[in-house]
Structure 1
Amino acid sequence: MASKTPLLLEIPQPVDSSWRLPAKRYPGRRGLDGRYRSEALELVREDHGRPPNPLEDIDGWLEALYLRALSGQTGPAVGQIIDAIEELFARQEIRRCDTLLERVDVSRFDTVEPLLAFLMATGRAKEQFISRERLRMNIVNRVQALLPERAQQLLAYVK
């Protein structure tokens, strides 16, 4: 008769979440309860917890973007990029937008979606930006490093 080995089950214990930063909830985005939680990504600031604004603080805005993208929140990161660039366009802050493009560190992204969002959002006014071509070349190199088999297909429509 074969001996029976007892099956050990590890039952996870609840994690104390009191250390986490206050999180915003976005109804209807994802999750089983229909809510999207952003924990430790919305930088808690004195101005009621809003993330940095690219009009006021480019480096702080980029830091929040890197954190969001690296935590797997690519959809919100893409939205953050497009919203910021659209706001800069609406206010005709071309120099500020060019400064933002100049300061983007493509090596801090581990997915291609946010990188492509920079190119898509600035494509209609690419002639107005001095640093966009350098950023485009950096993005092309990064996309080729991340997804070599799909890089040509992904970059075909983003000039």
Structure 2
Amino acid sequence: MDIFTNSVPHWVSILCFISFLTPIFMIVNVVKQGVNQPFFKDNIKVKKIPTLVLLFFATYYLYVTLMSFTGIFQVNTLPPRVLLFTAIPLLLFYFLFVFRTKTFWNILENVKLSDLIRIHIFRLVGVFLLLVGLLEFCQNPLLLLVG
């Protein structure tokens, strides 16, 4: 199966790109609010965490993009390769590294609950994928499942 990057209108691609970037900037903003609390006032290392989070997600998205353009996700396998090469490594990183750091829990305690709930705008990505599938801009039945 060939990879076609021009099989959907440009405006759909631009909206998709924006819908994937929005949650990242919201996460970085919440982390920035957390590290700017008085609890971390003199800790220079912690003040760099929002930038590190942004760099991490940029690197992760670049990795996923490069994997996508190599065609590795085109093969139908169980479990799907997109899970094996993107979602599971990200989940393991969160559980084995991020959640074990005391800094993460300190930042989490210093962020308002309403800000954490607001991050769930990432569900816009799912809604976007549902609309793309239902409006038949892309003929991939996986869009409805993922959305």
Same fold (TM over 0.5): no
Bigger radius of gyration: 1
TM-score interval, smaller chain: under 0.3
Question: Which has more helix, going by share of residues?
Answer: 2
TM-score calculated relative to the size of structure 2: 0.24
TM-score calculated relative to the size of structure 1: 0.22
Question: Which has more strand, going by share of residues?
Answer: 1
